[in-house]
């Protein structure tokens, strides 16, 4: 356990120590400058949007993978993990090449008047890619565990398929959907490698919060980087804590039923 | 088979099935398959020779060597810790367990940039230990030790995370039996526990290794990007790409895609093995 302390606790308490050496006014100034605010807006906005897209498509994907047998299902199932297994730098350059104006998708999109790479949309695309497995892998086991007899009972009692889904299946899936959304969102907030290539990194416009930390570090602005890191860390810890709460709440409710 | 006759009632209509399958696979192709395929297409665009050349330049070799060294240090350390922690957490009762489990998970919730940054804050020139290290002429940040430390931090949870749920569901009956039959602690561990957990352990180690070799953000902060010295494979990919050597960048990147492929294949293997292990048990259950 000494190792745990050495590897996790000491480094993170260093961050706290460094942050506490700043006065409140300094901290406030460093974390609420226009460039910092713009980076939060971009990071939170694109992470939310990506998590939203992933909840919808991730749920459909999980449903299809569990319920519908089709040739190549186990391959499709393995592919879902690629964004998780692929080093972020590789995802970053691949997505950029794909959505740049001379890329497979970027070209056609540009003809439609949509600029994908080097815009907030590009950031959102990268975060969608990164977050997808989190939603699928959270929702999938819940669908597998669904009691089909409940659905049968609903059907026998005269409910249509849509009604059964909305009244019986969806409520069971909801906690997993929220958890998947939150995990994807939290991952998006901190993501760096897959975003820096496609974002274009224009200060105030396409600069995500982790990149601003990086920039400040490279300028040896350690107080500035620390202050931002604390904000980002608190945001992701709050989300992860909320997920834990939600899961213990669901478990408690399941225990009572 | 009770319920057989009502099964058709809970099947989705064919058009729903087709639409959802098409949407799901379309999304997967667009967002996940396309970028992965593109890496190989771009890497091989200029031909096989350019591809091989890009992988065998001295700089590429240095990057590969550094990545291998980093993984060779970080993975065994975190494996040993993961085993010890998972054993301790699932086999003994003590206070503060949930807190420790959350702490183990913590690196997952931290942005890679912040993970790298804490290493700099601790060991860098203006950091806590910086002046002392400088006085003793020990370089950690912008050198191999810093890269290794950041990698250890980032890959810390993988093995423990994989083993804890597995050991929890498995229960302690076999170990208790071994204990009653007179086996000692280490003997129980090597003869009973380890053979049971070997597939989960293997998968945890492979995940840990994949992340160790692929980590970008955290390593990027601590490396200082010194060519031939502190460039890991992912950092080298970044440099090539920023220098517009796209074919070379994608060639080197394809190595990392292959690594991801090995990881996913290992995952499938472990899932199959786990199913094989479960099947005879459920079959013989009364």
pTM, 2 dp: 0.87
DSSP annotation of B127: S
Q: What pLDDT is attached to residue B284?
A: 37
- Interval A169-196: pLDDT, tens: 898 899 999 999 999 999 999 999 999 9
R_g of chain A, CA atoms, integer Å: 21
Q: Kindly state which CATH superfamily the domain A36-256 is placed in.
A: MetI-like (1.10.3720.10)
- Is B271 in CB contact (< 8 Å) with chain A? no
Q: Residues near B245 by Cβ (< 8 Å), separated by ≥ 6?
A: B54
The conformational region for residue B142 under phi > 0 = left, psi -120 to 50 = alpha, else beta, is: left
Instruction: Give the 3-state secondary structure percentages of chain A, helix then strand then coil, rounded to 5.
Output: 80, 0, 20
Q: What pLDDT is attached to residue B9?
A: 62
DSSP annotation of A78: H
- Residue A63 to chain B, least CA–CA distance (Å): 9
Considering only CB atoms, B104 lies closest to which of A4, A149, A189, namely: A4
- Interval B206-248: pLDDT, tens: 989 999 999 999 999 888 777 667 889 999 999 999 898 888 9
Report the distance separating Cα A159 and Cα A215, nearest Å: 58
- Is B68 in CB contact (< 8 Å) with chain A? no
Assign A11 a pLDDT band (cuts: 50, 70, 90).
confident
The reply to whether residue A233 touches residue B114, judged by beta carbons under 8 angstroms, is yes
- Interval A37-86: pLDDT, tens: 999 999 999 999 999 999 999 999 999 999 998 888 989 999 999 998 99
Report the distance separating Cα A27 and Cα B237, nearest Å: 36
Considering only CB atoms, B39 lies closest to which of A8, A94, A161, namely: A94
Whether the pLDDT of residue A257 is over 70: the answer is: no
ipTM (interface predicted TM): 0.84
Q: For residues B249 and B77, is the Cβ–Cβ distance under 8 A? A: no
Which residues does chain A have within 8 Å of residue B35's beta carbon, measured at their own beta carbons?
91, 94-95, 98, 129
Q: Considering chain A, what percentage of its residues have pLDDT values greater than 90?
A: 46
């Amino acid at each position: 356990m000494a190792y745990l302390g050495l590897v996790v606790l000491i480094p993170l308490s260093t961050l706290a120590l460094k942050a506490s050496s700043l006065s409140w006014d300094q901290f406030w100034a460093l974390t609420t400058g226009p460039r910092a605010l713009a980076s939060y807006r971009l990071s939170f906005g694109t992470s939310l949007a990506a998590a939203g897209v992933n909840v919808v498509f991730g749920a459909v994907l999980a449903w299809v993978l569990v319920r519908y047998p089709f040739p190549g299902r186990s391959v499709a199932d393995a592919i879902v993990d690629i964004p998780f297994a692929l080093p972020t730098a590789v995802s970053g350059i691949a997505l950029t090449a794909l959505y740049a104006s001379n890329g497979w998708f970027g070209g056609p999109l540009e003809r439609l008047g949509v600029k994908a790479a080097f815009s907030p949309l590009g950031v959102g695309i990268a975060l969608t890619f990164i977050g997808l497995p989190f939603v699928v892998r959270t929702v999938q086991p819940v669908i597998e565990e669904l009691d089909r007899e409940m659905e049968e009972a609903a059907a026998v009692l005269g409910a249509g398929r849509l009604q059964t889904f909305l009244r019986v299946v969806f409520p069971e899936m909801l906690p997993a959907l929220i958890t998947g959304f939150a995990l994807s969102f939290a991952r998006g907030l901190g993501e760096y490698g897959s975003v820096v290539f496609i974002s274009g990194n224009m200060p105030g416009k396409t600069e995500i919060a982790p990149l601003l930390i990086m920039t400040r570090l490279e300028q040896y602005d350690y107080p500035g980087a620390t202050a931002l890191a604390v904000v980002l860390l608190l945001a992701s810890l709050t989300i992860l804590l909320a997920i834990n709460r939600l899961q213990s709440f669901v478990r408690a409710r399941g225990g009572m039923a | 088979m009770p319920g057989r006759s009502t099964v058709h009632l809970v099947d989705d209509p064919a058009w729903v099935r087709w639409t959802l399958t098409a949407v799901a696979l379309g999304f997967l192709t667009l967002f996940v398959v396309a970028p992965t395929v593109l890496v190989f297409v771009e890497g091989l665009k200029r031909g096989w020779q350019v591809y091989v050349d890009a992988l065998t330049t001295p700089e590429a070799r240095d990057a590969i060597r550094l990545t291998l060294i980093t993984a060779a240090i970080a993975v065994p350390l975190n494996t040993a810790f993961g085993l010890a922690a998972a054993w301790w957490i699932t086999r003994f009762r003590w206070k503060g367990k949930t807190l420790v489990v959350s702490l183990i998970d913590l690196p997952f919730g931290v942005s890679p940039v912040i993970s790298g940054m804490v290493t700099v804050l601790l060991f860098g020139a203006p950091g806590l230990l910086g002046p002392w290290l400088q006085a003793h002429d020990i370089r950690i940040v912008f050198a191999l030790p810093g890269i290794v430390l950041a990698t250890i931090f980032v890959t810390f949870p993988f093995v423990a995370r994989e083993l804890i749920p597995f050991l929890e569901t498995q229960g302690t009956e076999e170990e208790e039996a071994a204990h009653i039959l007179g086996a000692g602690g280490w003997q129980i561990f090597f003869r009973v526990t380890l053979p049971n957990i070997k597939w989960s352990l293997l998968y945890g180690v492979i995940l840990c290794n994949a992340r160790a070799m692929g980590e970008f953000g955290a390593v990027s902060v601590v490396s200082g990007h010194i060519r031939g010295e502190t460039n890991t494979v992912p950092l080298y990919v970044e440099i090539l790409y920023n220098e517009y050597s796209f074919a070379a960048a994608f060639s080197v990147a394809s190595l990392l895609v292959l690594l991801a492929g090995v990881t996913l294949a290992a995952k499938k293997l472990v899932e199959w093995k786990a199913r094989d292990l479960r099947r005879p048990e459920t079959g013989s259950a009364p």
